[in-house]
A and B are shown apart, each in its own frame.
Chain A
């Protein structure tokens, strides 16, 4: 039996949902209940202080009824049976939902309890043990260079429980995400302050949070090197994007740009490009919430759709977008498991999970050998979507010069990547075989933040840098 570790109040309400959704279903063919609880912990240890704080939790119930045109929802705090029953009555009162029939594919019953496989479950470690692990990492990093003015270790843990019920579904899941940042801050001459960071993360336990001595020293070295970083001469460059940078390009281009709620709002140029070439034949792009250990992974989405991979771009051809219930229904396209909400107080949108370029066959050495003068983009810091204009904005914390097929010590920071999405993807001439995902938080515009991962292999391409 799966141990979900459901919060007691959620556990108590779950059996009563059957009656609530059955009654709701009599009036509204599409009637669902979602119980959602999110909680977590943040531990910070630096040279001057320590903090252990709770991650702002959320816990509540969402009742949804769809009349084929509008989704009506009541979202109430907590899991009180009486409150939820009252909210269900109020939601349905005075409205007619009978004209909408749920899609036929929902004809089969779905049930199951799902929990991730964790080697070192954060729920089994005490706060003291987690704090001590952070202190230990801090101690390993803090005295490695006289220019270091502060070293910060930041551990972020988030646990999530969800129960989804409809007249056809009874699903429950536990999700666990961990993120450990090591930040080094150095001071140079004239008050100059620079920093660099490295993160370990996953939809996993503490087993993925180990830093090697080499990784720590390399972080200190890269931070110190930033004291002599230059601004890059703007222009078009041959670049090699590290997996995290590749992932951010992917996320901002054929991630946000293929969320089908954007199709519905006529915000996505990709809507006009289904089965058309949008990049080099080396380019394959996926979104996969079922990726084991991914920071953006889940077993089912907030609308009860079971997680499965979606191939978005196949050998340079755009195949399909990622959906939520509403946009899939309105556009008459098949569902993917991407209906996600920030928390119970927000609606569902089509959102990414783990979005990435598929791996290729080239080694990094082979790719470097193809670059006489270019830039190795080491680390991304942010990105923003432009689904209609297909412009790219990805900001990199820094990059290194490539000369004669070798990465030099010359460093540029920050670096902005810009360009037109199809031009950038068309310019991909080699795809690496080393592949990884990096964790992030993704907003829809400046709100609706959900955990995601982005990644891929090294990519050799051309883009404008500035």
Chain B
């Protein structure tokens, strides 16, 4: 009802060049565990209305321009006053003219876990129980902390050009700590995962694997000084390629039209994204919002642009920037909308062939957070293995040093693929020549 009142109020304004309103509603459950007990149980509701307005203005030279303003309302807030505030803000700013998206066919993208949608509280408690049960099977390893969030998000978007679209999605966040103690020595692994669908978490498998890693931490040697092949697999490879929720990723940063417009991306359409020769497999990347149950997938983005699978880089060459409507208009590019997941094609070689010794495999970084403009990184290793002469020796500490794009210019990708939330592509990557300093 409030949405209709907002739309009515926006339609009644003659001073607007355009508007978008989104009714955002989410509800869900959260469960937190500490050793032997449940620390907290929460039920959460969040509901709000986000309004964006465009207003015609003029720049200091009198040239036609546009200004934007936004405001968020809670149920029962004064609609007229909120819109007036956004309109006044829009009137202060004079940017080159851009438009809002027009209606277009929206794809069906699987975004909902039906069980979670039906009963988030039970689904969340079930996840916690599965984690506790799986962890309890490892006598040497204890679960000392865990969190499970299950949320349902609904969005209803309407804009002044006629878009009227709705979507529903589920979101799951899980983290757990596995701890072990031998005499005076304590070790732990900390795992975070985000998915839309419970079955994509593979909880028992993840705990089995992390329990092994936890125990291997007792056997770690000092980090090696190493220059040569470095292997990443599965979740850590997904994070390396696609970035994380806190920091984002280099591909998203340099591949965005906003960065191009701000001159922080040197990439140019039709040219190689690399600064030197490519020695490894050619790089092909899609920015994919159609990926089923991808954590960055949707039917439409914040502006209402339909989900697409955009060929971003093909055989090392930039094909397109990921552009919202504003920067698409500014740079005269097609509007692709938000970036979505990072998708890579399968490589030509099997994973096992990429594991030719010697090599270093990194299981977990402290935080892989390359500079999003230069791509340079120096990141601490939480757990890695030096694999040579048939022996797999764990180590912790030391830093992986290099440049993100140089690393991608010299990598071989596996034929086997996997899905890790915001990454779909090869399960294994062998970077030919990376440096670890001990």
Residues of A bordering B, CB below 8 Å: 9, 46, 48-54, 56-60, 69-78, 80, 127-128, 131, 149-150, 152, 185, 187, 190-195, 231, 234-235, 264-267, 269, 272, 326, 330, 345-347, 381-382, 384, 386, 388-389, 391-393, 395, 413-416, 418, 420, 443, 445-447, 449, 464, 466
Q: Give bound CA distance, A338 to B252, whole Å.
A: 35
Supposing A78-B76, A267-B190, A446-B245 touch, asked if A391 and B366 sit within 8 A by C-beta, the answer is yes
Residue of A nearest to B377 (CB): A414
Picked from B32, B145, B186, B262, the residue with its CB within 8 Å of the CB of A152 is B262
B76-123 contacts to A, CB under 8 A, are 76, 88-89, 92-96
A446 B244 Cβ-Cβ under 8 A? yes
Cβ-based interface call for B437 (8 A): yes
A234 B275 Cβ-Cβ under 8 A? no
Chain A residues with CB below 8 A from B92, complex form: 52, 127-128, 131
Q: Give bound CA distance, A76 to B381, whole Å.
A: 40
Chain A residues with CB below 8 A from B399, complex form: 234, 393, 416, 418, 464, 466
A193 B186 Cβ-Cβ under 8 A? no
A418 B398 Cβ-Cβ under 8 A? yes
A69 B173 Cβ-Cβ under 8 A? no
Cβ-based interface call for B393 (8 A): no
A446 B371 Cβ-Cβ under 8 A? no
B43 A414 Cβ-Cβ under 8 A? no
Picked from A128, A231, A265, A416, the residue with its CB within 8 Å of the CB of B380 is A416
Across the A-B interface, the 9 shortest Cβ-Cβ residue pairs: A416-B378, A234-B437, A265-B145, A191-B266, A393-B380, A384-B367, A393-B366, A466-B437, A149-B263
A59 B74 Cβ-Cβ under 8 A? yes
Chain A residues with CB below 8 A from B74, complex form: 9, 59, 77-78
Supposing A72-B40, A418-B399, A446-B244 touch, asked if A382 and B145 sit within 8 A by C-beta, the answer is no
Supposing A382-B369, A388-B186 touch, asked if A75 and B44 sit within 8 A by C-beta, the answer is yes
Cβ-based interface call for B188 (8 A): yes
Residue of B nearest to A271 (CB): B186
B27-84 contacts to A, CB under 8 A, are 30, 32, 34-35, 37-48, 68-72, 74-76
Residue of A nearest to B403 (CB): A231
Residue of B nearest to A149 (CB): B263
Residue of B nearest to A265 (CB): B145
Supposing A128-B92, A267-B144, A384-B367 touch, asked if A195 and B264 sit within 8 A by C-beta, the answer is yes
Picked from B43, B173, B371, B401, the residue with its CB within 8 Å of the CB of A74 is B43
Q: Give bound CA distance, A389 to B217, whole Å.
A: 10
Q: Give bound CA distance, A58 to B47, whole Å.
A: 10
Shortest Cβ gap from A311 to chain B (Å):
25
A418 B377 Cβ-Cβ under 8 A? no
A52 B89 Cβ-Cβ under 8 A? yes
Supposing A416-B380, A418-B380 touch, asked if A266 and B144 sit within 8 A by C-beta, the answer is yes
Q: Give bound CA distance, A149 to B246, whole Å.
A: 27
Picked from B75, B186, B246, B379, the residue with its CB within 8 Å of the CB of A266 is B186
A381 B371 Cβ-Cβ under 8 A? yes
Chain A residues with CB below 8 A from B369, complex form: 382, 384, 395
Chain B residues with CB below 8 A from A266, complex form: 35, 142, 144, 177, 179, 181, 186, 188
Supposing A150-B264, A418-B398 touch, asked if A70 and B378 sit within 8 A by C-beta, the answer is no
Chain B residues with CB below 8 A from A127, complex form: 88-89, 92
A193 B89 Cβ-Cβ under 8 A? no
Chain B residues with CB below 8 A from A466, complex form: 378, 399, 401, 437
Supposing A265-B177, A418-B399, A445-B192 touch, asked if A73 and B76 sit within 8 A by C-beta, the answer is no
Per-position binary interface string of chain B over residues 360-386, scored 1 when its CB falls under 8 Å from any chain A CB and 0 otherwise: 000000110101011011111010000
B177 A267 Cβ-Cβ under 8 A? yes
Chain A residues with CB below 8 A from B367, complex form: 382, 384, 393
Chain B residues with CB below 8 A from A187, complex form: 263, 266
With a 10 A CB-CB cut-off, give which of A72, A269, A386, A413 has the most chain B CB atoms: A386
Chain A residues with CB below 8 A from B94, complex form: 50
Shortest Cβ gap from A117 to chain B (Å):
27
With a 10 A CB-CB cut-off, give which of B32, B39, B401 has the most chain A CB atoms: B39
A185 B263 Cβ-Cβ under 8 A? yes
Picked from A57, A235, A395, the residue with its CB within 8 Å of the CB of B72 is A57
Picked from A71, A76, A414, the residue with its CB within 8 Å of the CB of B376 is A414
Residue of A nearest to B28 (CB): A345
Supposing A75-B44, A195-B373, A447-B173 touch, asked if A389 and B37 sit within 8 A by C-beta, the answer is no
Per-position binary interface string of chain B over residues 262-287, scored 1 when its CB falls under 8 Å from any chain A CB and 0 otherwise: 11111000000001000000000000
Chain A residues with CB below 8 A from B32, complex form: 347
Q: Give bound CA distance, A443 to B88, whole Å.
A: 35
Picked from B40, B88, B373, B379, the residue with its CB within 8 Å of the CB of A326 is B40
Q: Give bound CA distance, A165 to B264, whole Å.
A: 48
B39 A71 Cβ-Cβ under 8 A? yes
With A191-B275, A393-B379, A446-B192 known, 15 other A-B pairs at CB within 8 A are A80-B75, A185-B262, A191-B266, A192-B266, A193-B373, A234-B399, A265-B145, A265-B177, A266-B142, A267-B145, A389-B187, A418-B380, A418-B398, A447-B245, A464-B437
B44 A54 Cβ-Cβ under 8 A? no
Q: Give bound CA distance, A75 to B28, whole Å.
A: 10
Per-position binary interface string of chain B over residues 252-267, scored 1 when its CB falls under 8 Å from any chain A CB and 0 otherwise: 0000000001111110
Show 21 A/B contacts (Cβ-Cβ < 8 Å), sorted by A. A54-B72, A56-B72, A73-B40, A75-B43, A77-B48, A78-B47, A193-B373, A195-B264, A195-B373, A231-B401, A265-B144, A326-B39, A326-B40, A347-B32, A382-B247, A388-B187, A392-B380, A414-B376, A418-B397, A447-B245, A466-B401
